[in-house]
Structure 1
Amino acid sequence: MRGEALFTRAFVHYGEAQVYSEIGRVGSDSKPGIPIRLTSDYTVVSQRGTVAENIAAILKDLNEALELLPATSSSKVKPSKAAVYALLSRIYLSFRQYDLAEKYADAALNLYNKVTDLNTLDLESMSPFPIGHDEIIYAVYSRNGNLLLQTVANVNKTLYGQYTENDLRKKAYFYDKGNGHIGFKGNYPGVFSTLFFGPTTDELLLNTAECAARRGDLNKAAEQLNKLLMHKWKSGTFIPIKFADKEKAINLILEERRKELSFRGLRWSDIKRLNQEKGREVILQRKDDSGNIIAELPANDSRYYYLIPDEVVRQAGMQQNIR
């Protein structure tokens, strides 16, 4: 139980730090992080630690949980060593510490490596993924994702256009609304009303592929990517990928990462880490139906970090994020 509690606390702290702090950004160690509350005493006033203190607390919880949890779990809602390794890989990838991200992804895959074959699912269904399917290592569901659900959100048409007809993710993830827009249906928990943010084997295979490519091991990069994609394409149509150029390999893996992990809560941290790489910066734009830009978020803008709620600042005297 203590291991489960430590893992859960680390998971939530890391998620909140991604939203409210500059965690993962070069030179951010001394910048304000989130409050790390380690007591149930409600009279203790919350104060922001530094990013470095946040990282230390999160990693301390995970390292202790690693000693307490079983290798794998029979329940998708209970954490395990595989889940801890997977979360560590996710964290170090967002920090651009690719050697450690690869190390922990490999460790997780050594314990659990099942991949869901899309050829076995009913892709015409509006909820094609069964609850607790093979790819899930630890189930984490959102509670307030209504703005992104099927009947509301419209999928970026440029992203949708990247899937070929033999790529089964096109049917597994999306549907044509019939009004000129594309909707998202591929919620990983197989539930219409919620989104999925937990660690999975497809995320880990993409982590190891990217990290291997970045250190120049193109054979491993291709091998890991092929292990994933062979289960995502129509049977008999997938041609294994081979890499001969490091930069092209990284770029292709990043494209596949975006296509595979859509609506999983990972794109935000991916954009922030890629914004620190020359030539891979992402400028976010919102356009109206006529294609006119109505909002823009440049790379490394301070608006990548949400403002602390005003009521929290008022009651705790907490330092607000700059704008």
Structure 2
Amino acid sequence: MKNLIYLFILALLITSCNGDEWLDIKPKGKVIPNKVDDYRLLLDQTQNLGKSEAIFSTTGGDLFLTDDVVIGEYIFDNSYGENSRNAYTFEAHTYLEIEEDDDWQVSYNQIYVSNVVIEEVLETSGKQSEKEALYAEAKVHRAYAYLNLVNLYSKHYNDATAGADLGVPMRLDGAIEGNLKRGTVQEVYDLILSDLKEVYDYLPDVPEFSFRPSKAAVNALLARTYLLMGDFDKALVNANKSLDIYSFMYNYNDFGKNAWYSTALDMPDFYENKEQILLKQPQNKYQLIYPSEALSNLYDKTNDWRYDGMMYAEWFPPYTNMMFLQEYMVGRSSGLSVPEMLLIRAECHARAGAADLAMDDINTIRQNRIKTAAYLPLTAAGVTEALQLVKEERRRELAFLGARWFDIKRYNTYDNANISIDHSINDESHVLAPGDNKWVLPIARKYILKNSEIEQNPR
């Protein structure tokens, strides 16, 4: 049975077609790519156009799932939409039957665009090196999208079960129609690794613009992928390769104060952030974020710029919790970054028994985040303490940047961490315990109604 993929770029849609007729008809009144510059425009799209998502847009729905965020009762009832409230309380369905899932939509939208480029660009007119670079960029964008999808809508990677666990639908061509039966988790990861390794040599070491993939980005994405797979040896190798190519970090002590918020650091906008290896921005980028007490207590609230210079206590009730002001002002950037690579390398060192090397990377980050007069290097008594310190630093540095949900899932899988999340509110209990089916997000009912072969996740 052929079914309509509900998620695609508007600019390339055929406005009227039946069955397979679209295969032989070019869209009328649309731009049809026929030279290399056209495909460059597709992969450099930095603004949403109708249903066509910017290429650096990415998932962000995990923001309301983790133990990093707390929503008070008044704020819950009056300041967030129904979808956010459903996610926060782990409801059986986040979206109504008629609603799109923004994370699913943006990911498959980009997969569709990437597939069009992969299929067509090598056969178009233009310099061979430019065509190969675009082909490579599209494969990296596709791999990034699939990595997010499989970690949101599937069980966490487990080598013993990945060959049977349901992954996500895998589309590898630019067809708008086709079977959407879910592949396995292993098949999705195999595709990601294959795509990234295939195109490495076609890319520059570092990109002209941070939203374009590069060799540094491929290594970074491989490091993240292997970390999620629990293959810490390979994650270490690729984190090292990425940092060997690019390792710039800001020292927050060098920033001045924001002109509008006197307590906040004046940090670069996400486009200008030089720590980014591959820029990706969640769709809910401008979102008031209220950190949980557990997260807040991890910071040195006086001397850590990530707290003192990036969080802000609202003065008017009932909005009196701290909000993550800086991320609200400039937009969250949850792509691949230099700090993430240092954290991955530190974790891999700790797991391999090299506590001193792990602390070296953690202290590199902290020296650039703690007020100079108060900075003291951290030390660990052994590898167990080193790993705990790495996890804490990772939680501080990557707060609200798309890491925590995946981290809890992998800690529970690989470390038997037994982490639960308590989002109880309005005298109702909403606790997500280890092993609960709700660690795997539901697929929006709209897509299953349109595509009956997509199997729903159990709730």
TM-score, normalization by structure 2 = 0.65
CA RMSD of aligned residues (A): 1.9
Structure 2 CA distance for aligned equivalents of residues 144 and 282 of structure 1: 26
The match for 1:303 is 438
Q: What letter is aligned with 2:246?
A: Y
> Are residues 1:250 and 2:387 paired?
yes
> Are residues 1:129 and 2:267 paired?
yes
Q: How does 1:286-301 map to 2 (within 5 A)?
A: 286-288=423-425, 294-301=429-436
The percent identity for this pair of structures is: 28
Which one of the candidate residues 411, 414, 419 is aligned to 1:282?
419
The match for 1:9 is 142
> What are the ranges of 5 or more consecutive residues in structure 1 without an aligned counterpart?
none
The match for 2:283 is 143
The match for 1:42 is 176
CA pair 177-29 structure 1, distance change in 2 beyond 3 A: farther
Give the number of equivalent residue pairs: 314
Q: What letter is aligned with 1:321?
A: N
Which one of the candidate residues 351, 356, 362 is aligned to 1:225?
362
CA contact (8 A) 1:7 1:61 kept: yes
> Are residues 1:54 and 2:188 paired?
yes
> What are the ranges of 5 or more consecutive residues in structure 2 without an aligned counterpart?
1-133
Structure 2 CA distance for aligned equivalents of residues 278 and 64 of structure 1: 32
Structure 1 CA distance for aligned equivalents of residues 143 and 415 of structure 2: 31
Q: What letter is aligned with 2:267?
A: F
Structure 2 CA distance for aligned equivalents of residues 219 and 123 of structure 1: 35
Structure 2 CA distance for aligned equivalents of residues 36 and 24 of structure 1: 17
Q: What letter is aligned with 1:220?
A: L
Q: Deviations over 1:280-316 (max 9, x none)?
A: 2211011448xx6631100132101111222222222
Q: CA deviation at 1:145?
A: 4.4
Which one of the candidate residues 229, 236, 239 is aligned to 2:376?
239
CA pair 302-270 structure 1, distance change in 2 beyond 3 A: same
Q: Deviations over 1:76-130 (max 9, x none)?
A: 1111110111111111111121111111111100000011111122355457320
Q: CA deviation at 1:171?
A: 2.3
Q: What letter is aligned with 1:144?
A: N
Question: Relative contact order, CA 8 A, sep 6+: which one is greater?
Answer: 2
Q: Matched residue of 1:163: which SS? A: coil
Structure 2 CA distance for aligned equivalents of residues 203 and 303 of structure 1: 27
Structure 2 CA distance for aligned equivalents of residues 170 and 60 of structure 1: 40
Q: CA deviation at 1:226?
A: 1.1
Structure 2 CA distance for aligned equivalents of residues 216 and 243 of structure 1: 12
CA pair 28-111 structure 1, distance change in 2 beyond 3 A: same
Q: How does 1:148-159 map to 2 (within 5 A)?
A: 149-150=287-288, 153-159=289-295
CA contact (8 A) 1:23 1:33 kept: no
The match for 1:20 is 153
Q: Matched residue of 2:347: which SS? A: helix
Q: CA deviation at 1:279?
A: 5.3
Structure 2 CA distance for aligned equivalents of residues 312 and 183 of structure 1: 35
Larger mean CA deviation between 163-172 and 111-120 belongs to: 163-172
The match for 2:17 is none
CA contact (8 A) 1:285 1:293 kept: no
The match for 1:194 is 331
The match for 2:311 is 174
> Are residues 1:105 and 2:243 paired?
no
CA pair 288-193 structure 1, distance change in 2 beyond 3 A: farther
CA contact (8 A) 1:127 1:185 kept: no
TM-score, normalization by structure 1 = 0.91
Structure 1 CA distance for aligned equivalents of residues 198 and 265 of structure 2: 37
CA pair 294-121 structure 1, distance change in 2 beyond 3 A: farther
CA pair 157-254 structure 1, distance change in 2 beyond 3 A: same
